[in-house]
Structures are given as structure tokens and as C-alpha cells.
Amino acid sequence: MALLKAKGLTKRFGGLAANNEIDLEVPEGSLFAVIGPNGAGKTTFFNMVSGFLSSSAGSIELDGRDVTHVPQHEIAGMGLVRTFQLVQLFNGMSVAENVEVGCHLATKGGVAASLFRPKWFRKQEVEVRERAMELLDFVGLSAQADIEAELLPYGQQRLLELARALAAKPKLLLLDEPAAGLNTQETESLAHIIQKINAQGTTVLLIEHDVALVTRIAHRIAVLDFGKKIAEGTPEEIKAHPEVIAAYLGVEEIPDA
Amino acid sequence: MTSPNITSPKPAAPAAKFASRFDRFQVVLLGLSALAVCFALIYGGYLLTVMQMAMIYAIFCVGLNFFMGYTGQASFGQNSFACIGGYGSAILCVQYGWEPALALIGAMVVAGFFALIIGYPTLRLRGHYLAMATFSLGLITYDISIQWTSVTQGYMGYAGIPSLGIGNWTVESERGKLVVLAVLLAFAFWLSLRMRDSRFGRGLRAISGSENGAAALGVRVPRFKLIAFVVAALYASAAGSLYAYTFNFISPEAFGPAMSILTFTMLFVGGVGTIVGPIIGAVVTSLLQEVVRGSGHYQDIAYAVGLLATLIYAPKGLSALGGLFRRKKEEA
Amino acid sequence: MPSIVELTQSLVTGVGIGLIYGLIAIGFSVIYNASGIVNFAQGVFVMLGGMFAHSILTRYGLPIWLSAIIATILVAAVGVLVQIFVINPRWRRNAPLFAIILATLAVQLLIEQIVILTLGDQPRTYPEFTSGGPLKLGPIAIPYQLFWVLGVGAILVFALTQFFNRTPMGRALRACAQNREAAALLGIPVERMLIVAFALSAGLGAIAGILITPTQYTAYLIGTPFGINGFIAAIIGGFGSPVAGLVGGIFLGITQSEAIVFFGAGFRNIISLSLLLIVLMFFPKGLFGGFAKKA
């Protein structure tokens, strides 16, 4: 069954179609990748799916429910959690606290609960702390738990963002270029972690620039170029696809801004 | 700053969380503030008034810190809610004979309600637009408190406000007032800590770190901003009421735009977004003002230059200076 | 119900003061578009313009036009100093927005106090540029100074439009406005452009102050009201082109002076601030479009 279903998804900026009638189905439990040259519209697609950007046309279905015009926090509440191409850490909070924010959806309680601190609330706070430490352990950051997040080296910031997203117990995890700016070794351990997350039952949809990485770990790949889906298939099919080869060889690489 | 040195990882210790919230420097600053209160209690005189004022502003700033520090939004209009608190208490006590303590809470309810309906449309704005919208809110309230003479008695001010008390017990002595204010500040501070270290507080701080990041994790950003705004307004209203009960007189000037700028300064001097910053800032700024008072216009010049220097050299305020020293030591 | 004459007369007054607001609004937009900063000390330049012109006029007995030019240059120099010593250190460090706002407010306080110490706290004024008047059109009186304001305003807007569209420096400023990083990559010296923006903006404020002083007065404390009204005008105009700023100013000026007729002078600020809130909430890009950037 498809966990995420995009039908004819289109986004126009002025006269320019950043995404043009994209159809995509992400099966539950899969590790799905969207690749494409820079400016192909990958991030635009992500932003629409996660509710950060309204679509010009088309529809998005999550877990069988239409979420085309649902606000982002509600989409997150339905189990779709995303990370960002430019890491969006919470500066001024410690590494552990960053992950604790990730538990937001999985917990409850507002001002009143924080003031009166009933028993369930205190228990929840302890659980949140434990869960944060568990997740930091999972990505290998438990030693840095009390450091301010902004002091982490870039590679570890990426891992922290991943741990934070996991804290929200996502059904579908959207990763926007998680390997951007990482060295080979860091990319390797990240790939390993992503595969582990997927193996534990979380559906993963990732955007990537690094084709080698994607063809190695993804079950299925969709290719975008100039806002259009030009191909979809297994890694082997994609590697042999003539249009994909043309898109990648024909377009000169533009360095990330 | 960009190349942090994490070669010696600290062992994770969740139990040490409370201790790690305050560094030693902040504890020292807090202790010095308490000392200043004791000093005022012993020596009395004008210092009592200065410290009373500092306690009231500190309560205001603790609230403002929720909106500006933790949530990272700018409001230059919190004086509106202090104004509602002050005049609300005065009117409820004098004209309707309410108990001062009850009137304080009544005024808070009114201020909170106003914050809710004003905040809802206003908080959609960002950056300079939000700053200016809130600033004009403060100016409008100020103008209304001058113009609406039938209720506020205009420029003349509102006199004859009772002192704080419950039932037959009222606090009339200046020393007693300072003690009560200090206790109330401690209570307000304690409440703020409870709110800060919770799911709610973490959500707020996440917003100030990255609105997008927070929203992606399901934090309802507009709602959280609004609640932080209301919390700040409740604190401001309480501070306004306490001002009225402490000095038994209020005028529009007390809650004018100057109040917004002064409290803003306090928050910055103390350290915006830090735990003890609001209190340190209120005490230090109040004391400094008295030190340079009497030198006429040079006072304001010293004040402005000091503020500019703080903004450049200690952008995170006094309570972050401890961290600055420590980092330097580690680098050396 | 106020009479037609009253309404028309206040319309004339409104246009006059509105043009002044418009000039200040353009000053706000020039800095905002180049740097993303709203200089809350903008009103101080208006005050300094009038104060300097008055001092030069009375102390050295120079003709008004020469005093005006010297005063404008001096205020522009103050603008440059503010940029270099106050704004730049923070801008370079990427200080949070409200730290910069607070810094500009501190600058305002600082300059006001220096003015009190050096020039005194008494309000002052000087005669209109052209003596005689006002021009009588039936029962409506139009002061000659209004024509000066209109003329100078029109010339300035024309000159600024030419400057932004035709000169390399103007185009560089606009490039900074659209995308600072890209402008820097293209080799445009962004920091120097900010200095130009502050000089330009301070000069505009000074001219506004010099023009308005004969019909009102100037004193150390007039900065705040002019600054706020100029900002409101900029918001109404949408922080866009010079014309938009001027139109925003005239709209505000007319609204204000008609509001005085209907509700009384005490409500002038309440009305214009409420107008600001309405525009901010419902027309965040300004009433007259323009290429407003999102804050």
C-alpha cells in the first residue's frame, strides 16, 4: 500500500513551473529516493508534501487521507516528519534538548501541566529524557548530549537533526539532502544509519544529490529534471535509463549556493 | 566559534541537568542581586525605592523574556499590559472597593484577554513589522491613558491607590513592601522556570532557534507564540498592578513607551533568553540609573553609550559573560 | 459636521505634512532596501536638519538656501557616522534584529541629549523661504512654504528615481536591495553601499526637517513623532519606490489632518497608529504595492 501518494502535483512561481504534474507513490516500508540535478524541483516537491508550501495544482495523500491543504504541524502530527537541506538546529539549546523537542508530538501537556506538574507529566518528562538519550546513542552522539547544539561540527549537526526527527516517531521520514556537505566517511555512517532506520519499519523518502549513495541504499528511485518526473524504477533500471543519463551528463554541475 | 573543540567528551549525566542550567557566574550574579535587596532593607532610604522598582521591573522582564528570549519575538508594546494592570487595579480597588490582591488577578485576566485578541492578528507579522506594530500598540495605550480622562484622570495621574494586602493585613512600610515584592519575584521566577523546562518551554525555545524546524516537528508555531505573548502580558499586568500598590499612585508616564525601552534595555543588559538575565538586568540597570542620576543630561548620554557598548561587546548580556570567560580559558 | 471649507483647508495642511512624511518614508526605504534594517533613529535626522539650518542661519547669517545645503551635508555626515560606528559593528556580527533596533533607539537618545547640551532644549523656528502669503483661494489659505515642499519633493523624487535607475551606484544599491549575497558576489562593495544609503537617507530626513521647520518648529524631541509617522508612511507605501513612499506620506498626512477635524487633536496619534495596525495586518505589502520585500 502506498503511504504517500502525490497526483499531478504542480507548483508555479510566476510563470515558471518548479514542479510540473508530478505523480509519485511511496510504498509503506520502502526506502525511496528522489534524485535530480540542482534546480530540478526536488526541494519544492518536499516542501509541498510536508505542507511548507501550498501546491498550485494536484493532490497529496498521506496514509489514505487527503492532506493537500493541511497545515504543516498537522501533517507532522500524522507521522510525516522532515529534515532540511540547511540544518535547522535549535541554537541556544543543548544537543539533548534538541532531541527532546523532537518528542513534542509524541507527548502532551501545555502551560497548566508544566505549572502543576501532575504525576503523568513528571513521568513523561523522565521518559522524554530517556528517549532522547537513546536516540543520541543510536546516532552516536550521546557523548555530546550536554553541549550546545550549535557547537557541534557540521557532520554531527546532520546526525542530530536525524535523531530529532526520529524522536517524533515518524511513519514517513523525509530527508532533504542528508549527505550534503559530509565527507566520505560521514556519508558512509549516515547511509548505514538510514538503512537501520528503514529496517526498523520507518518509511524513508530522501532527496539526494549523491547518485552513488542513492543507488546503493534506495529500493526505488524517481528522477526529476526541470520540474518533471522523467523516470522511476529500481536503482538498476535508473542507472540504465537513457533520459537519466542525459539529464546528468547534459547538465553542467552548478555548485550549491 | 566555528571550530569547536570537542576532543574531551563529557559523560552524559541527565541528573546534573538542574545544576547545568545555571553556571557559577549566574549564581554569583543572582546572589549579588539578593545582597542588594538585603542592603536596601538594612540601610533603607531611597535605595528601598530603587530596589522596589527593580523588583517590579524584574517581574515584568521575566515575562518579557518568555516572548523575546525564549520565543525570539520582538515586542515593544508590553507596556500596554502593564498599563492595563496598573489602571485596572487602581480602578477596581478605588471605585469598586475590590481587595488589592483580587484586583491584581482581575486585572491580569483583563490583560490576558486583551493580549489574546490583540496578539492573534498581530503575531502573524514578523521582524520589523512586528516590532513596529507592538510599539504602536504601546503608544496607542499611552495616548488613551492620557485622553480618556473620565477613567484614568489623564495627565494628573491616579492617586489614593491602596497598598497590597489581603483582608485586614496590608503592607504599608517601605521595607515590608520590598520584602513582599522580592518574594513575589521569587515566586514569579519559580513559575517561569517550571514553564521553561517543560514540553511547552522547549517548544518556545525551538521556535526561536528555527521556526521551520519547530513546525516540522509538529510544534504549532502561531499558537505557541500567542501563548508566550499572553504569558508575557500576564507578567506585565502583574508588574503594573504591583507598581500601583507600591507607590499608591500611577500616571500615564509610568507605563509610557519609555517603559518598553527601559525594560528592553534591562533584558538585554541581563541577557535575553537566559534564565537569570531578566532579574540581573533589572537590578543592575536600576542601580546604574541611580548612580548616574543627578548628572543631568549626562545621565542619558552615559545610559545610551552604555547600552550601545553592551550591544556590541556583550550581545548576550551580563549573565552570559561567565560563559565568555570560560570559553576564553578553554581556548587558551 | 465640519464645513467644506474646514475639510478643504485641512486637506491642504494634510498634503503639506504628508509630503514631509513621504520624504522621511523614502529615507526609511532607502536604508531598509539596502540593508534589511529599519533605522528607528530616522526621526533624529529630521530634527537635526531643522536645528542645524537654524543654527547656521542665526549664527553666521548665511542665506537660507546656503544654510539648508550645509545643514543637509552635515546631517548626511552624521548618518555616515551612525552607520560606521553603530550599525556596521552589529551588522557584521549578524546581530539579532531587535539588538539593532535597540541600538538605533539608543543612538536617537544619544543624539537628542547631545543636542540639548550643545544647542539647548528650546524650540526654534525661522521664517518661510518666501515671505508674504499665504495664497488665498477664496476661504482657503495655502502657505507659500507648501509650494516649496511640493517643488522640492517633486525634484527629489525625480532625482532619486533617476539615481536608482540610471547611475551605476543607484543600480548597485538596488542590487543590494534585491539580493545582498549575490550583490557581494558581483563585486559590489556592500558595506560602502550601506554608507551611501545612510548618507542619502539622513540627507532626505534633513531636507524634510528644513522644509517643515518654518510652518511648525524644531526642537530636540520632534524626532520621535516624525520618525514614527515617516515609518507609517513607508509601511503604507510599501517600502518600494520613492513615488510609493511619497504617496504613502500624503495618504497618512491627509488621514491625520482630517481625523483632527472630526475627532480633535488629541486623537491624531491614535488614528494614525490604528491606521498603521490596519495596514500591517491587512495590507502587509502596503496599500500601493511596490516591490515590498517580506520582513
Q: What is the ipTM of this complex?
A: 0.84
Only one residue has cell 510536508, namely A50
Domain-located, residue B168: yes
- Are B68 and B272 in contact by the 8 Å Cβ rule? The answer is yes
For residue B22, the model assigns a pLDDT of 66
pLDDT of C208 above 90: yes
- Are B267 and B69 in contact by the 8 Å Cβ rule? The answer is yes
- Are C220 and C115 in contact by the 8 Å Cβ rule? The answer is yes
Domain-located, residue B302: no
pLDDT in tens, A135-153: 999 998 989 888 888 889 9
pLDDT of B101 above 50: yes
**B129–C284 C-beta distance less than 8 A:** yes
For residue C51, the model assigns a pLDDT of 93
Spell B190-223 as b/e; 16+ CB within 10 A means b.
Answer: ebbbbbbbbbbbbbbbbbbbbbbbbbbbbbbbbe
What cell numbers appear for A136 in the block?
Answer: 543520541
Q: How far is CA C208 from CA B331, C155, C201, C243, in A?
A: 52, 13, 11, 15
pLDDT in tens, C41-55: 899 999 999 999 999
For residue B14, the model assigns a pLDDT of 42
pLDDT in tens, B60-74: 999 999 998 889 888
Domain-located, residue B208: yes
For residue B56, the model assigns a pLDDT of 96
Domain-located, residue B6: no
Only one residue has cell 552589529, namely C90
Show residues of chain A in contact with B67, CB under 8 Å. none
For residue C215, the model assigns a pLDDT of 85
**B220–A90 C-beta distance less than 8 A:** no
Show residues of chain B in contact with A161, CB under 8 Å. 213
The candidate with the shortest Cα–Cα distance to C53, out of C66, C43, C67, is C67
DSSP secondary structure string for all residues of C63-121: -HHHHHHHHHHHHHHHHHHHIIIIIHHHHHTT--HHHHHHHHHHHHHHHHHHHHHHH-S
**B131–C110 C-beta distance less than 8 A:** no
Counting one residue from chain B and one from chain C, the pairs whose CB atoms sit within 8 A come to 111
Q: CB count, 10 Å around CB of A154?
A: 13
For residue B325, the model assigns a pLDDT of 57
Domain carrying residue C93: 4-294
**A114–B201 C-beta distance less than 8 A:** yes
**B125–C109 C-beta distance less than 8 A:** no
Reduced to 3 states (helix: H, G, I; strand: E, B; else coil), residue B226 is helix
Domain carrying residue B235: 46-256
Residues of chain A with pLDDT under 50: 251-257
Q: CB count, 10 Å around CB of C97?
A: 19
pLDDT in tens, C29-43: 888 888 778 888 899
pLDDT of B332 above 70: no
pLDDT in tens, C66-88: 999 999 999 999 999 999 988 88
**C266–B129 C-beta distance less than 8 A:** no
Question: What end-to-end distance do the CA atoms of chain A give, in Å?
Answer: 38
Question: What end-to-end distance do the CA atoms of chain C give, in Å?
Answer: 41
- Are B199 and A104 in contact by the 8 Å Cβ rule? The answer is yes
For residue A30, the model assigns a pLDDT of 93
DSSP secondary structure string for all residues of A152-166: S-HHHHHHHHHHHHH
pLDDT of B52 above 90: yes
- Are B285 and B242 in contact by the 8 Å Cβ rule? The answer is no
Closest residue to C270, CB basis, from B140, B264, B308: B140
Window 57-76 of C: residues touching B by CB (8 A cutoff) are none
pLDDT of B301 above 50: yes
Question: For B257, phi and psi rounded to 5 degrees?
Answer: -60, -25
Show residues of chain A in contact with B202, CB under 8 Å. 93, 97, 100-101, 104
- Domain count within chain B: 1
- Are B281 and B32 in contact by the 8 Å Cβ rule? The answer is no
Domain-located, residue B291: no
- Mean of per-residue pLDDT scores for chain C: 85
* Residue C6 CB contacts under 8 Å (≥ 6 apart), including other chains: C261
| Strand ranges inside A14-93, DSSP E | 16-27, 31-35, 57-62, 65-66, 80-82
CATH number at residue C177: 1.10.3470
Show residues of chain B in contact with A108, CB under 8 Å. 199
pLDDT interval class at B89 (50, 70, 90): very high
Domain-located, residue B93: yes
Angle at B261 between CA B232 and CA B233, to 5 degrees: 15
Residue of C235, C273, C282, C294 to mutate when probing chain B, most B C-beta within 10 A: C273
Scanning B217-256, the segments in alpha helix (DSSP H) are 221-247
pLDDT in tens, C59-69: 888 888 899 99
pLDDT in tens, C135-181: 888 888 888 888 899 999 899 989 988 888 888 888 888 887 777 77
The model carries a pTM of 0.84
Question: What end-to-end distance do the CA atoms of chain B give, in Å?
Answer: 13
Show residues of chain B in contact with A77, CB under 8 Å. 218
DSSP code for B69: I
Distance separating alpha carbons of residues B257 and C227, to the nearest angstrom: 14
Domain-located, residue B99: yes
Closest residue to A89, CB basis, from B10, B195, B213: B213
Domain-located, residue B100: yes
**A145–B216 C-beta distance less than 8 A:** no
Show residues of chain B in contact with C89, CB under 8 Å. 312
Burial of A184 (0-12, 13-18, 19+ CB in 10 A): exposed
For residue C288, the model assigns a pLDDT of 66
Closest residue to C98, CB basis, from B131, B300, B312: B131
Q: Which segment of B321-330, C87-96, C167-176 scores lowest on mean pLDDT?
A: B321-330
C140 sits in which H/E element: strand C140-142
The 3-class SS string of A131-155 reads HHHHHHHHHCCHHHCCCEHHHCCHH
For residue B10, the model assigns a pLDDT of 38
Residue of C86, C102, C239 to mutate when probing chain B, most B C-beta within 10 A: C102
Show residues of chain A in contact with B201, CB under 8 Å. 114
**B143–C266 C-beta distance less than 8 A:** yes
Reduced to 3 states (helix: H, G, I; strand: E, B; else coil), residue A168 is coil
Is B126 in the C-facing interface, judged by CB distances under 8 Å? yes
For residue A13, the model assigns a pLDDT of 79
Closest residue to C113, CB basis, from B122, B268, B300: B300
B142: Cα within 13 Å, side-chain hemisphere: 20
- Domain count within chain C: 1
Of the two residues C201 and A242, the one the predictor is more confident about is C201
Distance separating alpha carbons of residues B172 and B177, to the nearest angstrom: 7
pLDDT of B5 above 60: no
pLDDT in tens, B225-258: 999 999 999 999 999 999 999 999 999 988 988 8
Scanning A82-234, the segments in alpha helix (DSSP H) are 95-102, 111-116, 119-139, 154-167, 184-199, 211-217
